Amino acid sequence: MSFPWAKHYEPKNPVMQWVDSRLPLPRFVYNAVGAGYPVPRNLNYWWNFGVLAGVALVCQLITGIVLAMHFHSSAASAFDSVNVGIMRDVNAGWFLRFAHANGASMFFVVIYIHMFRGLYYGSYKAPREMVWLLGVVIFLLLMATAFMGYVLPWGQMSFWGAQVITGFFSAIPVVGDWIRIWLLGGYAPDDAALNRFFSLHYLLPFVIAGAVILHIWALHIPGSSNPTGVEVKGEQDTVPFHPYYTAKDGLGVVVFLILFSVLIFFAPDYLGHPDNYIPANPLSTPAHIVPEWYFWPFYAILRAFTADFILPAKLWGVLAMFGSILLLFFLPWLDKSPVRSGSYRPMYKVAFWVLVADVLVLGYCGGSPAEPLYVILSQIAAAYYFAHFLIIVPIISHLETPKPLPGSITEAVLAKTGA
């Protein structure tokens, strides 16, 4: 689909004419991310993060494929192949390794901002539910990929992280332990687990790439949302993606690369844990097992359940942790407000910022040791997290009186720029 005023692909170059008439791939690209895709003219910088997530994925694929050429997926030599082979002997191996490890962090930074942008501007609402649903699928795949990637260097946190995460499955009643042993290929993480994690860690990014194509395809049916949440009404509301948003995203990409480079070249271990520079040792449990920062909010939810109430506390924790992500699938139907953008929703806007603060508190608790005060704080924050999506948002959508919406995107733009 496209708007009727979308530009049509007319190749001037005879080679492109020849290709396009036989395989309309150039036309497809032109309509997807070229001048053939009309986009609202009022997108702000928060709309850069979709393209940035794509850039992060490509960076991870390129560095990851080259790293895989030098990695040994065996419990005996994985740590050495990373910390001696790649870090010391492979030409610029240190760069590949640091770019890949920090690239995962940058990917999550970008994805979280992208998701919160969707939450604030109601991008999940009709007719874009499918875009949101696919986005949640991508997020889940990304978490699985990142977890398995973190296991590969086979340091202490790799090993014990794998131990803890696969331990979730043993919370399943009756068959839990059996499932865990089946998933690991043994009683504890070892060669079998390391090899399958490596295999899946190589596979899943391509599954993500496929899901990203569907995500963009689904986006192109209704077209991009925008900060007013008012749908496009005519040609004056849009500009072609190229050159307008390629230029704006180009700027975003350079800023992204600058921050990324500061991490890679000047603080490559800042976001990591020192214990992962100790080779995996099944006989020595680290004092504090913590996942990477991007899992902290979910780790806090997991650990917040400390009471056995009908079900064991561990099972509650695991259910709630998965539930905290799965409930995002239902968000398009939990929020019944017809107004998309938080800018015109006074109550929702407050609830949104409280949620942001709540997730930051959860993150802080998840990264801290399981001491009573952090546990209490994470219990309150976890309760609020569920209340936000399942109680507060549905109620707000009934109670709230939205502010008047602008008549069109162009009207909003002209009012803002004072013309």
Partner 1 sequence: MTSLFIKSIKFLVGGGFILVLLIALWGSIWGVINEPPAETAEHAMHKHPKELKLASDGPLGKFDERQLQRGFLVYKEVCAACHSLSLVSFRNLKDLGYTDAEVKKIAKDWGTKQPVFDEKGGTWGERDNLPSDRFPKVYYPGTGTPPDLSLITKARHDGAAYVHSLLTGYNEKPSAEALKHFPEFAKTPDGMHFNPYFANLNIAMPPPLTQDGQVQYSDGTRATVDQMSTDVAAFLVWTAEPTLQTRRMAGWAVLGFLIVLGFLTYGAYRSVWAGVKH
- If one asks whether residue 126 binds partner 1 (CB under 8 A), the answer comes out as no
- If one asks whether residue 154 binds partner 1 (CB under 8 A), the answer comes out as no
Instruction: Flag whether 100 is marked binding.
Output: yes
Q: Considering only 19-27, 50-58, 240-248, 356-364, which stretch makes contact with partner 1 by CB under 8 A?
A: 240-248
Distance, CA of 288 to CA of 175 (rounded, Å) = 28
> Does 269 qualify as catalytic in the annotation?
no
Angle at 159 between CA 155 and CA 162, to 5 degrees: 140
> Does 292 qualify as catalytic in the annotation?
yes
Q: Which of 19, 164, 200, 257 forms a contact with partner 1 (CB under 8 A)? A: 257
Catalytic hit among 7, 70, 72, 220: 220
Distance, CA of 357 to CA of 192 (rounded, Å) = 41
Residue 286 tokens read as: 């680290």
CB of residue 412 to partner 1, shortest distance in Å: 10
Residue 141 vs 152, nearer CB to partner 1? 152
CB 362 within 8 A of CB 301: yes
Segment 77-96, which members bind partner 1 (CB under 8 A)?
Answer: 80, 83-84, 87-88, 94-95
> Does 237 qualify as catalytic in the annotation?
no
Q: Considering only 20-28, 59-67, 167-175, 389-397, which stretch makes contact with partner 1 by CB under 8 A?
A: 389-397
Angle at 158 between CA 95 and CA 188, to 5 degrees: 150
- If one asks whether residue 372 binds partner 1 (CB under 8 A), the answer comes out as yes
Distance, CA of 121 to CA of 206 (rounded, Å) = 29
Task: State residue 240 phi and psi, 5-degree precision.
Answer: -65, 145
Q: Considering only 162-170, 182-190, 208-216, 388-396, which stretch makes contact with partner 1 by CB under 8 A?
A: 388-396
β-strand partners of 309: 311
Per-residue mark of binding to partner 1, 322-361 (x: CB under 8 A): -x---x--x---x---------------------------
- Residues 6 or more apart whose Cβ sits within 8 Å of residue 278: 155, 156
- If one asks whether residue 387 binds partner 1 (CB under 8 A), the answer comes out as yes
Q: Considering only 1-9, 57-65, 159-167, 259-267, which stretch makes contact with partner 1 by CB under 8 A?
A: 259-267
> Does 249 qualify as catalytic in the annotation?
yes
Residue by residue, DSSP assigns 235-252 as GGGEEEIIIIIHHHHHHH
Per-residue mark of binding to partner 1, 6-35 (x: CB under 8 A): ------------------------------
- If one asks whether residue 58 binds partner 1 (CB under 8 A), the answer comes out as no
Determine the distance from the C-alpha atom of residue 389 to the mean position of all C-alpha atoms in its chain, rounded to a whole number.
19
Instruction: Flag whether 114 is marked binding.
Output: yes
Q: Which of 19, 164, 179, 375 forms a contact with partner 1 (CB under 8 A)? A: 375
> Does 224 qualify as catalytic in the annotation?
yes
Task: Judge residue 349's burial from the number of C-beta atoms within 10 Å of its C-beta, 0-12 exposed, 13-18 middle, 19 or more buried.
Answer: middle
Q: Considering only 10-18, 69-77, 145-153, 411-419, which stretch makes contact with partner 1 by CB under 8 A?
A: 411-419
Residue 351 tokens read as: 């609830």
Q: Which of 18, 390, 403, 407 forms a contact with partner 1 (CB under 8 A)? A: 390
Residue 138 vs 154, nearer CB to partner 1? 154
Segment 37-56, which members bind partner 1 (CB under 8 A)?
Answer: 41-43
User: First and final CA of the chain: distance in angstroms?
Assistant: 33
Sign of the dihedral defined by the CA atoms of residues 34, 40, 46, 50, in that order: negative
Total of chain residues touching partner 1, rule CB under 8 A = 66
H or E segment to which residue 38 belongs: strand 38-40
- Residues 6 or more apart whose Cβ sits within 8 Å of residue 59: 99, 103, 106, 260
Half-sphere exposure of 315 (CA within 13 A, CB side): 13
- If one asks whether residue 382 binds partner 1 (CB under 8 A), the answer comes out as yes
Distance, CA of 419 to CA of 305 (rounded, Å) = 55
Instruction: Flag whether 220 is marked binding.
Output: yes
Q: Which of 309, 398, 399, 401 forms a contact with partner 1 (CB under 8 A)? A: 309
- Residues 6 or more apart whose Cβ sits within 8 Å of residue 9: 20, 26, 27, 30, 31, 34, 36
Which spans of this chain sit near partner 1 (rule: CB under 8 A)? 41-43, 80, 83-84, 87-88, 94-95, 98, 239, 243-244, 247-248, 250-251, 253-255, 257-258, 261-262, 264-266, 268-269, 274-275, 277-278, 287, 304-307, 309, 313, 316, 320, 323, 327, 330, 334, 371-373, 375-376, 379-380, 382-383, 386-387, 389-391, 394, 413-414, 417, 419
| Residues assigned a catalytic role | 220, 224, 248-249, 292
Which residues contribute to the annotated binding site for heme b?
A: 100, 114, 201, 215
